[in-house]
Amino acid sequence: MYDKKIHIAPCGIVCNLCLGFQREKNKCVGCTILGSKPPRCEICGFKQCMEKKGNNIAYCDECPKFPCRRMKNLEKRYSLNYGESPIENLKSMRKSGIETFSTLMIQNWKCPQCGALLCVHRRNCLHCGAQNEHFLKRKHTS
């Protein structure tokens, strides 16, 4: 039903929960995978920043500047609008390892109706239309 392998981007966003990754048209392969990505992701500030740093850093939390201003802005945007915390994701991945982190993310974001992963960017499950409770609980109300 869903991809059991969780892809976590260097910034801590879980690709599997992203609209770009879940949609059928212009589907993104995931941030850390080589292949076609939406133009928006090609010009991503995090991606360009990592490229500048070479191969020494795989995830933003390894950077001496973490959490930088860009990271703090992303954190604010995602936690307020979508109920996902990129910083907590990175912490959780470090603490429990990628396998356990994947299991936790799947448990947390599984659609109660169809079992597919919900999309952080959408009010409803892309697969069956069930309501995304995380979206309803978001702090941002306007």
- Residues making contact with Zn ion (CB under 5 A): 111, 113-114, 125, 127-128, 130
Nearest Cα to 117, choosing from 126, 136, 100?
Answer: 126
Question: CB pairs under 8 A, 24+ apart, for 20-28?
Answer: 22/117, 22/119, 22/126, 23/126
Contacts of 98 (CB under 8 A, 6+ apart): 6, 8
Q: How far is the CB of 111 from Zn ion (least distance, A)?
A: 3
Nearest to Zn ion of 73, 113 (CB atom): 113
Could you tell me the smallest distance in angstroms from the CB atom of residue 56 to Zn ion? 40
Give the residue with the Cβ less far from Zn ion, 4 or 94.
4
Q: How far is the CB of 104 from Zn ion (least distance, A)?
A: 19
Residue closer to Zn ion by CB (options 60, 116) is: 116
Q: Is the dihedral of CA 95, 9, 6, 124 positive or negative?
A: positive
